[in-house]
Copies of this chain bind each other. A is one copy, B any other.
Amino acid sequence: MKVGVVGLGSMGFGMAASLLRAGHEVCGADVNPDAVARLRGLGSAEWGPVQALVVVVLNAAQVEAVLFGPQGVAGQLAAGSVVICCVTVAPDFARAMAARCQALGLHYLDAPISGGSVKAADGRLSIMASGTAEAFAAAAPVLAATAEKVFDLGDSAGAGSAMKAVNQMLAGVHIAAMAEAMTFGMTQGVSPARFMEVIPDCAGTSWMLENRGPHVVDGDYAPRSAVDIWPKDLGIVLEAARAARFAAPITAAALQQFLAASGQGLGREDDAAVAKVYARNAGLTLPGDPA
């Protein structure tokens, strides 16, 4: 199958590499020519006609530009091709993109991804997918090459993005709550290391706590996933919540902490760096801080 991947960041590059490994003919596009060249080194082709287009850019504005901008590719795709949109976007936006693609005779799979860059490189992502049976069928080889788990969330675009929004809401809150509890513990004599020895065995644990907590203990803020993801993703959540007249006070509080982290210049650090906001506010010294 000929597959185009637009957006060769850590997630898109891993997906493209997984597609190559699975034997597909792959071409990649990115604003960064180095990323394209690196994929060529793995055996990708020059950009050309494709049967499936995987979109793995940063946000909704980039999705719209990729598909329908001045150099948009939607108009170049043959009828019956499938657009697989892996970007975290608002459910309403996913529905709008699907409608515009369908008007061109294209299938559209609303397919946000989760799992991080390591799983992307290994072809073991989780994909929260929704779309018509035809969209699922056309996307099947791509899903098989890139995902360990595909949640079929129904036959219309938007449902995948809705579940992704729900998951991001929890994930963001849990990262900030980990940071809040770990630093609160420090004020009570509980060291970050001791926190991570005990809490994962207790009712207070979460997937994110166990994943991100060690970054704080190690003072290691190399970005596996960056702080600046969260103002974007929790922004999508709270925008959808506002439109639905849904009050989400805990998510709103978590967003403010990520905004403060970003405002302190930590936007490109690992998202566990939200702990630094709490530490600075309380005069605490985290592992790795200058003494």
Contact = CB atoms under 8 A, between A and B. Distances in A.
Interface of A: 91, 114-115, 126, 128, 149, 151, 153, 158-159, 162-163, 165-171, 173-174, 176-178, 180-185, 187-190, 194-195, 198-199, 201-209, 211, 237, 240-241, 244-254, 256-257, 278, 281-283
Contacts of A205: 170, 206-207
Contact of A171 (B178, B184, B204, B254): B204
A106 B127 CA distance: 59
Contact of A188 (B171, B184, B244, B247): B244
Given A169-B184, A170-B181, A250-B180, A201 B241 contact: no
Most B CB within 10 A of own CB, among A199, A207, A256, A282: A207
Q: Which of A165, A183, A204, A207 has the most CB atoms of chain B within a 10 A radius of its CB?
A: A204
Per DSSP, are chain A's interface residues mostly helix, strand or loop, or mixed?
helix
Task: Choose among A188, A189, A211 the residue with the greatest number of B CB atoms under 10 Å from its CB.
Answer: A188
Given A166-B184, A247-B278, 4 more contacts: A162-B189, A163-B195, A170-B204, A177-B251
11 contacts: A114-B203, A162-B190, A166-B185, A167-B203, A169-B204, A170-B177, A173-B173, A177-B250, A177-B251, A183-B246, A245-B282
